[in-house]
């Protein structure tokens, strides 16, 4: 059993735009962000955003989604560990959404590459009384 459990998630936004001419070659780039807020009862809310776009024409081809994840975690865990594991829990859903909206949009489905969250720095800002 994971020390962080994804209890629920809510897709708050999905966007897809493809106004490129047929046959246009594209170069894809990805952008991710994941922010976590902690509550007093060993729960956290993660806000996940992912965008895939054409490097050379970002306004004419992109797909994005914004997901809110509701997680619980074992008492005593470090925030960095919670953050990383919550990311691991919600990422497959974001990946699936991007694949689905691009496939349903009439283009070859975009499958996001795996993200090694452990190789990324996590920037932490403690604001107010957040734990």
Neighbouring C-alpha atoms within 13 Å toward the C-beta of 20 = 22
Structural tokens at position 99: 């694949």
**Comparison of pLDDT for 10 and 129, the residue scoring more:** 10
Structural tokens at position 45: 């809310």
The predicted pLDDT at position 2 comes to 75
Average pLDDT over all residues of the chain: 89
Exposure string for 44-63, b = 16+ CB within 10 A, e = fewer: bebebbbbbbbeeeeeebbb
Instruction: Name the CA dihedral angle for 98, 100, 101, 104, rounded to a multiple of 10 degrees.
Output: 150
CB 45 within 8 A of CB 54: no
Entry pTM: 0.84
- pLDDT > 70? residue 97: yes
Render pLDDT for 39-51 as a digit per residue (tens, 0 to 9): 889 999 999 999 9
pLDDT band at 130 (very low <50, low <70, confident <90, very high): very low
Q: Of 32, 49, 36, 30, which Cα lies nearest the Cα of 85?
A: 36
**Comparison of pLDDT for 130 and 113, the residue scoring more:** 113
Render pLDDT for 2-35 as a digit per residue (tens, 0 to 9): 789 999 999 999 999 999 988 889 999 999 999 9
Structural tokens at position 126: 């403690």
List the Cα angle 81/83/86 in 5-degree steps. Answer: 105
Distance, CA of 99 to CA of 127 (rounded, Å): 35
């Amino acid at each position: 059993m994971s020390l962080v459990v994804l209890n629920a998630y809510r897709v708050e936004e999905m966007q897809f735009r493809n106004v490129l001419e047929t046959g246009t070659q594209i170069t894809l780039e990805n952008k991710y962000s994941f922010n976590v807020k902690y509550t007093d009862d060993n729960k956290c809310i993660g806000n996940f955003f992912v965008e895939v776009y054409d490097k050379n024409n970002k306004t004419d081809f992109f797909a994005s989604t914004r997901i809110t994840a509701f997680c619980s975690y074992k008492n005593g865990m470090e925030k960095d560990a919670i953050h990383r594991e919550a990311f691991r829990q919600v990422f497959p859903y974001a990946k699936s959404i991007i694949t689905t909206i691009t496939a349903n949009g009439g283009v070859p489905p975009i499958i996001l590459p795996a993200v090694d969250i452990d190789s990324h720095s996590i920037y932490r800002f403690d604001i107010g009384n957040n734990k």
